[in-house]
A and B are shown apart, each in its own frame.
Chain A
Amino acid sequence: MSGAATAGAAPAGREGRVFARAAERRRGERKAELDRLAAREDCLPELQYFLSLYAEDPTLESIGGRTGLRPAAILCLQAPVELFWAQGFSPVKIYSGAYASANLTSPRLPALMCPCVKAILGEMELDPGLALAPWAIPLTCDWLVKFGEARGLFGGFSGPVHLVEVPRVKEDPRARARWLSEIRSLSGFLKDAGGRPLKRADLLAAVRRMEEARRALASLTLLRREGLVPAVWYSLITGAFFLDAPGRWTGGVDGYVSALRRSGGKGGEGAARGRRRADAAEGPGRDGAEGGRGQGAGGDGGAGAREGGAGEGSGRGLPAGMGPGGGPGAGEAAGGAVPPEAPRPDGVYLTGAPVYFPNFKVLHLMEEAGLKCLGDDLCSSERLFPRHVEVSDSSAEGLLAALAEAYHRGCLCPVFSESERRAALIREAADQAPVRGVVFHLLKGCHPYELDSFALEGKVTGWGLKFLKIETDYSTEDTRNLLTRLEAFRPTLGV
């Protein structure tokens, strides 16, 4: 989520100039990424809806206008979205992948701090309106625990803020009872902040709305497992969930899914054909992508994305294998037909820290390196909300308990005392799709994820999958290094 910089709120003098420069760079990053995405061959017309949501650079007010509900800012996703809807709020997950935003606040924050949190604080500087809204902050990682104090360094909050204490032990029944009381407490806060009292009918309606959204996302995920949905589009779509009313978002996803099915994945037909010719020409295991590298988030990837039409072997910004019947097991070699059942050896699973718009650097680099991302467990992407909430007790209490439990126990964030079950997602994806390796995306300063990476590596390699950990931040300085590592990782997958 990002807010537009309002000229009236920017400070004056040198600081004002810094702010203005940061706002300008931030706009540039967003525009560059949007242009790059729009120029892709696989940009179907149905995706324009999602691009437009980002293009208007929404504020909380504009989101409230679109959803018809009062916006409430949230960080992290342990607080049930349905609860907000039921009480008349539109939850807006505040995030940012803008390097300029992170850079704006860096001088007054620890160097080795989560760049996402820095960027959020930067967004709040650029859009003072953010601080006015009601905030619900789940106290998950240490940075969020200190978020209130960190914000205090920049002026604090103007609106009501509720801290949601998240029990770190999921299996303990006492912890679950505590979490349920936290959710009730959150409900009380929302009511005090001007929302409706929580009623069963409203909660039931919210649950049903969310079920529709989940269903749509699940059908998109199924196509992703077949290799038909590039990671950038998937992340763009999930990131747009909070920018519009859920019904319209669901409709947008369904439209895209239908379009993909109709086209049989022909969104990137020309580019895919070209890519496969290049692959065939250069031999197996060799990536034919030559150009379009070195372009990280916010860079001029647009040029590379525009190239690579029919016949072009360039991998610049082009999705791999997005041809007719594209995806694992499908493809055609130059001048001939590859049996559709032939498995592609380059499917990977992305795990680790979230990837937020406009910083799709890692996703683009993976594509450029020829790695097809068949799934992920990022909380910005596939793990946006709990996969499924089965409700056995449809009373108000029962619904609330079901939601609380699903959002808590179903959350696989490493901040919990045990997150070994994250490996289950990888295992499941490996059963569903030809996943050959795991790429662990680590943001600098995130200790829980880093610790998790060691345990996960042991498990994953034990299953015969390859593992690669890449540690980065929002800057573009390490782009070439990362691409080299990813390109070197790719040949190991087919072994």
Chain B
Amino acid sequence: MDTINQTNRTLLLDVINPDMPDLLTLVGDVKGIDSLDDDKMKEINQYLECHSYEEMERKFKPVVWSFFDANSQSVKYTLERPENMPESMLTPIYLNEFENFQKTILSVMQSRKAQGLLNTEFSYEKVLEMISPKKVMEDIKQVRKELQYNYKKFTELEEGDPQKLDVGDKLNLLFEDASTNYNNVMAMLPLAIEDIKTRLFLGTSEQQGEHAEIVPGYLSMGNNGELKVLEAKKEESTTLALRDDNINTGLIEAIKEDYQALNNDSNEYVQNLVVRTFCPLVSTEQTVVDVEAEVANYNSYLEFYRASKDNFIKVVKPLLEKLLGIRMFFDQYKAKAKGMAPTLVVANISPEMLAKSSNLPRLITYLNTTNSKNNFKDTIWYAIYPNVAWSQDVTNRIQRERFKGNVKKAGTDVYSMEALATLLDVFKDYRVETFFSFENREETTFNALAAEGIEKAIEKCASLTGKAFSEFAIPVLPNFTVIPRNKSGIILDSRMKVTDGNVVELSKEKEDIMRLWIEGVYINGAYVAAGFRAACQCPEFLKDHFSRTKIKTDMELPGVRFDIEAGNNSLLAYTTMPKEITGFTNSIKAQINQKNFGWVFSSENASLNGEDITNISVYKARNLLYDSEHSSYEPVYKTQVTTYIERILRYVTGDFKEDNIKNFFSNNPQSQKSKWLAKKECINAIIMDGDSLDYNIDDSNGVCELTISFNGSPRNLEVQINRLTSNIS
């Protein structure tokens, strides 16, 4: 791969963080220029190029802004930073690995993948409970255990002991973790909820849900040998308590001090709450519980927590789905040795914006720089255009509720087919293959595809077929389901009520059960398709997947000619996504095979050499170039092979010099064609067995006609390459 060192650089046409630089801004004014200078390209790469999900997260800092609305007494969330809001009133919630909701969704994905269960079999409720206050408390319990252990060690060690300093470092880290909980009220809510619950139900099992006071005692035998639990004497309990209080008292003071230092407007209730949460073993401190007030607090906290979580999830979901898509793009590349790892250039701009006439010259100038040079380091090979509107009227719904609205409804962040067509027309000139998939909704999932087939999708893509750019449009079906819509309910907790006799219990009424609806989390298929195809370009990746077969992999060639549909290729190289459904029916499969439409994933039961394939594989890999002779669409690899050969030809022949072209195709063993033919047995051969690569120079017109015939595929393809040297002679 001396000449073209990568064939999988991908451009993502979507917004991750509107506050960060985007492609248009970075390209800048392009009036009177054909291409960007190297410094500009370096700058663009510095801001937009990502080699891993983590790099993307670092560069774009995906964030949701939250602020409190005093009018509605609620928390508001928005993806765009509200411009009229003072900085101090805004709280950014970064969607990183520590963010609870994202953590939960990732857990769902991981456990489903690990268990290899289908969507219907998987118990989503268990994992989704992670969002509930109980799980938050469980996490904290772990932290506080470590806190107490380390604090005890810290107090026991002598001053000046180097080990004490080490323990001090650990304590600092633990306090830092703990402080993330108590430096904002929102994070305190689950603590407060669980805290009230713990105090009110002390001494009762949660199942009973009743509150009764307890008195510490000890077991003894009566004079007649009967067992008795006697009330413990005060002195004994004090002695017992004092032992652990030495540690706890210090820790309480430390936490109090830390809380006060971090919060200028600290209040005693929250301070006590923090202390109770992180030091619950205070046996000598008696707190009087005002049951009525605590129950009222509990119910209002729970309601507020539910409402804010609900708002948050609705706003964050579209962004989270994009992030999961990017994560899955990179996730597809799993090779033992890193070779041609996929690279993602995040445009960070809405494709609708990019497709405006006023902005297209900028995109053209950028692509002219990346794709029209004999330097292939920055060449863009693929593009991802996610969230294409499924319904035609959706375009009218793209109205963001920026300031006044409550939450952004899922599914509104969709892009039009028209913008896609405009961009494809540009991408065609630079031979960028574009993976696009429809918006995330039930109609675009495996379930729907299995039930309804691909007719609807073909219909929706009709406007893109029969066009010059059709060859570069790859519709991806279906989208992946992380959490199905009908299983996305989360029970947070139940309301409390005070019954007669001042007894507290959790309400069992249906309307008192606090529930959140996530309404399904999906991943656009385009991310996975692009990620998988990008991964297949790497010879290391192919080698890993085909090592069990006798087929060789050439380490110098990219996987441009790799045809995933051929033979058992799709069973040897598959995605990292777990299976979702039991499979397509034969009639649906017949329909797909008959039309040979789109990039279709399959969730089929399959096994190869006795090994079950639990992952989703690629069933079809076609673009929208329709071959009417064979009534089918063309495989995607043909386009990329043509592009690859054209680029290599241009490079090797010094921009199509006649003599060099003749050398290129000659039978000399050193010619490029001979080199390729020598490797035709490899899985990633450029010219495979049965393929042919011929040329014909038309002297009168100064044109070189190149004919690439792909055997084993239904249709031959002809490409015409200009011979620019004719003008010189």
Partners in one complex: no
List chain B positions with a Cβ less than 8 A from chain A.
Answer: none
Interface residues of A (CB under 8 A from B): none
